[in-house]
Structure 1
Amino acid sequence: MYRRAFLTAATAAGASLTMPSAAQRRLGSGDVDRMNAKLAAVVSMDNKYGGTPELQQHAASLAEETIRLQNTHTASSRIRSELYGVAAAFTASAMWAAIDGRRLDEAEPYLNQAVTLAGLANNRAVLYRIWGHASIMYRHLGRPADAVAASEAARATSIVRSDPLYASLALARLATYHADAGDERGALRAIGLAQASYDRADKTKHRPPWMGFYDQAELDSLAVFAHLRLGRWEDAERHAHRCLAGLRPDLERNRALTYANLALAQLGQGDLELAVASARNVPADAARGRVGVLLKDFTSKISAVAPRSSETIAWLEHRRAAA
């Protein structure tokens, strides 16, 4: 059912955004707008469904379509640069879908292509996004030094110096890497700096559609991850509740992530009943990729802490029914 829903959405998004005729030999701003509209649709589907194989393939095919468009038409250098930027963004979306779905062996090959396309576009915003995704990929691959290096590469892009919102996201992600290393002081400092940068940012400024997910709720979500890694359960729960209170309705995957993390924070405090109630708020069709990993972790921990409790038994029955 999910696959049908996704394919219907993808088809609807593309049906009204067809490529220009091959007879048209010179590309213009309208072509860039059409591909950017497709990119916005990809971002919207990611917000709703998360990193599915279908979304990964769809984004990769749109990157190929954008490159093919370049090679079969003429264009000014400005238009070519913009289209290379869109192709890089599609490739980054495919990369992110693979990361979010924990298909890490499929994610890494996209990195070189995305960096190359962003370089051809001279697009600092897309390059920032690519290195940010790479840092998360390396973290999940168990390569902490590479994760920090990629995070620093994102922070070194010029857009971070000109826009505090990008600086805030980079710092919030860096906090999770410090937490992974057990560096509580570094993690808390990064969270504080991320909040300060976010407060300085102009929220009305026009930014690419893939940056639309980052708001106060996402900053709180990243803080949850950091506090969980540090075993700061009460702080993790506080940020999770604040995230849920401010989370936009369309960010369904992020809501599932936050409920899974909230359950872990409550379990860490010994609140089994609340923890199971939070975990049950994760829809069955969202329990995949990163969300699925968190729920598996929750199941292992509650089974170890209280294997014979009524809450654990109820949770295990819920998991079996949802399988």
Structure 2
Amino acid sequence: MTATELADAVNKAIGDLTGKPGATSERTVFRWLSGENQWPQARQRTALEIVTGRTITTLGFVPRGKRKMTVPASPARPPEDPSVHRRRFVGAATGTAAAVAIPLASASSRPSNVGTSDVIRLRDHVENLVELDAARGGHAALERAALAGASEALNLQKQSTTQRVRQRLFALASDFTSAAAWSLIDAGQLDGAGRHLDRALTLAGMAQDSDMTMQVWNLRAMLARQRGEYAEAVAAAQAAQATTVARRRPMNASLAHARTAIGLAHSGDHRAALRSLGRAEDAMSKADMSEPLPVWMAFYGPAELHSINAIVQDVVGHPAEAEAASYRALVALPEAYLRNRANVTVRLALAQLHQGDVEQAVATSGEAFTIMAGYPIPGRVRQALGDFQRDLITLAPSAHIAEEWIDRYRTEWSTP
């Protein structure tokens, strides 16, 4: 793989992650190879991990602030001399390997001390993935990047000399693995998500981290609901309620009750669903909204609770209340949450459709495509659009309206 080919591969991986190709140049690659730039930008680091199938530190890059080993100068040789110190980049996408010269310290010669700076660096990586997910939703490149992060966290914990740092690294590995599972759930690719969640739950237990345990149960409830396994969705949400962190933090309790409400609504237990929704609202009213949330819960707040309220109200047969809750969610949603905004917009369209306002519903549903312009439609949004199409065919006063909607959006909606 030449420097140009590597730059192109990195740019494509950045495009897969963010929806917009990267701007890595051949000169940038040469700066990596020479050691002039020993710590690429965050998106380039993630893209390199995807392209090579190796973690960024395994590739020989050194985080800023870490002690660097001095490498003795090599005698001048022609660039093509095979005796130049080399590190192999393994191309995960193509299955081929390419030798790329990187005059950095070998993995065995780098300092093995692992500490808080590594934990902070990996936590920053988690935050980068959360930001990407908020913008364009789950996708395969995001899953691969998350699994690479989990692999690095687990490798580092083997080198840690303190139990506290080891547990924090196990927690990060659980966080990354949960992010990989969520990426599949959001993309509508459910087959591998359960396996990731089983692994994440094990890692959360090894970390003795109640917060990570709740994250897994929250995702398990979402996965079960998407599979139509509503009794399991309720059980998983109730397991989230039972975690220590949910008993101690009102915001966590609110999320667990809200997730239970969705499962109960789909199970047909409408009274219990509304009671759980009320408990979610009560818990949030007791929360200190200025208290920072863990990274995985950054999505949860008044906007998300309004969105869940809209889902529950529509399922239990209160479309007017669902429409009002959808509007409240759209007002409260941060601008960066494009996927969530598109999803709430489709829910709004469904609530309007269920009240017989077909023309308004059709116009509203079209806004979801405008919101996601330039990005593939995430799997969960496509699923909601499928629900809208089904109900539109059933409830529209004439077949012409439904056919026109399908013809207009078929290409955008069906493209993964």
TM range, normalised to the smaller chain?
A: over 0.9
SS across alignment from 2:257: helix
**Cα distance in 2 between the residues matched to 1:295 and 1:201:** 34
Instruction: After TM superposition, list the pairs within 5 Å mapping 1:268-307 onto structure 2.
Output: 268-283=354-369, 285-306=375-396
**Cα distance in 2 between the residues matched to 1:294 and 1:6:** 21
**Contact 1:233 1:266 (C-alpha < 8 Å) held by counterparts:** yes
**Contact 1:225 1:236 (C-alpha < 8 Å) held by counterparts:** yes
Query: What are structure 2's unaligned runs of at least 5 residues?
Result: 1-11, 23-39, 47-55, 63-67, 69-106
1:197-216 residue CA offsets vs partner (Å, 9 max, x unmatched): 10110112233111111110
Q: Given residue 116 of structure 1, which amino acid in structure 2 is its aligned partner?
A: T
1:246 is aligned to 332
Q: Given residue 67 of structure 1, which amino acid in structure 2 is its aligned partner?
A: L
Shift of 1:53: 1.3
1:149 is aligned to 235
1:66 pairs with 149, 153, 164, which one?
153
1:59-91 residue CA offsets vs partner (Å, 9 max, x unmatched): 1121112112223x2331111111111110000
Q: Given residue 289 of structure 1, which amino acid in structure 2 is its aligned partner?
A: G
**Cα distance in 1 between the residues matched to 2:144 and 2:296:** 17
Instruction: After TM superposition, list the pairs within 5 Å mapping 1:87-106 onto structure 2.
Output: 87-106=173-192
Shift of 1:143: 2.1
**Cα distance in 1 between the residues matched to 2:43 and 2:327:** 37
2:139 is aligned to 52
Q: Does 1:117 align with 2:146?
A: no
**Cα distance in 2 between the residues matched to 1:65 and 1:168:** 33
- TM-score if structure 1 supplies the norm length? 0.93
Shift of 1:191: 1.1
**Cα distance in 1 between the residues matched to 2:410 and 2:292:** 45
Q: Given residue 131 of structure 2, which amino acid in structure 1 is its aligned partner?
A: S
**Contact 2:157 2:165 (C-alpha < 8 Å) held by counterparts:** no
Shift of 1:121: 0.8
Shift of 1:222: 0.7
1:175 is aligned to 261
**Contact 1:256 1:286 (C-alpha < 8 Å) held by counterparts:** no
Q: Given residue 178 of structure 2, which amino acid in structure 1 is its aligned partner?
A: A
1:244-300 residue CA offsets vs partner (Å, 9 max, x unmatched): 011101111100100111111100011011101110011254533110011112112
Structure with the bigger percentage of helix: 1
2:129 is aligned to 42
2:42 pairs with 13, 16, 26, which one?
13
**Cα distance in 2 between the residues matched to 1:196 and 1:239:** 16
**Contact 1:184 1:230 (C-alpha < 8 Å) held by counterparts:** yes
**Contact 2:306 2:325 (C-alpha < 8 Å) held by counterparts:** yes
Q: Does 1:26 align with 2:126?
A: no
SS across alignment from 1:105: coil
**Cα distance in 1 between the residues matched to 2:118 and 2:257:** 35
Q: Given residue 351 of structure 2, which amino acid in structure 1 is its aligned partner?
A: A
**Contact 2:17 2:142 (C-alpha < 8 Å) held by counterparts:** no
Q: Does 1:160 align with 2:246?
A: yes
The farther-off stretch of 99-108 and 134-143 is 134-143
SS across alignment from 1:104: coil
Q: Does 1:78 align with 2:164?
A: yes
Q: Given residue 302 of structure 1, which amino acid in structure 2 is its aligned partner?
A: L
Instruction: After TM superposition, list the pairs within 5 Å mapping 1:252-267 onto structure 2.
Output: 252-267=338-353
**Contact 2:18 2:136 (C-alpha < 8 Å) held by counterparts:** no
* Change in 2 beyond 3 A, CA 1:310/1:145: closer
Higher relative contact order (CA 8 A, sep 6+): 1
Query: What are structure 1's unaligned runs of at least 5 residues?
Result: none
**Cα distance in 2 between the residues matched to 1:4 and 1:40:** 14
**Cα distance in 2 between the residues matched to 1:294 and 1:263:** 10
* Change in 2 beyond 3 A, CA 1:320/1:150: closer
2:280 is aligned to 194
Identity of matched residues, %: 35
SS across alignment from 2:263: helix
Q: Does 1:138 align with 2:224?
A: yes
**Contact 1:172 1:219 (C-alpha < 8 Å) held by counterparts:** yes
SS across alignment from 1:280: helix
Shift of 1:138: 1.4
2:16 is aligned to 3
Bigger Rg, which one? 2
RMSD: 2.1
**Cα distance in 2 between the residues matched to 1:321 and 1:103:** 20
Q: Given residue 296 of structure 1, which amino acid in structure 2 is its aligned partner?
A: G
The farther-off stretch of 292-301 and 20-29 is 20-29
* Change in 2 beyond 3 A, CA 1:16/1:227: same
The farther-off stretch of 17-26 and 103-112 is 17-26
The farther-off stretch of 305-314 and 100-109 is 305-314
Q: Given residue 40 of structure 1, which amino acid in structure 2 is its aligned partner?
A: E
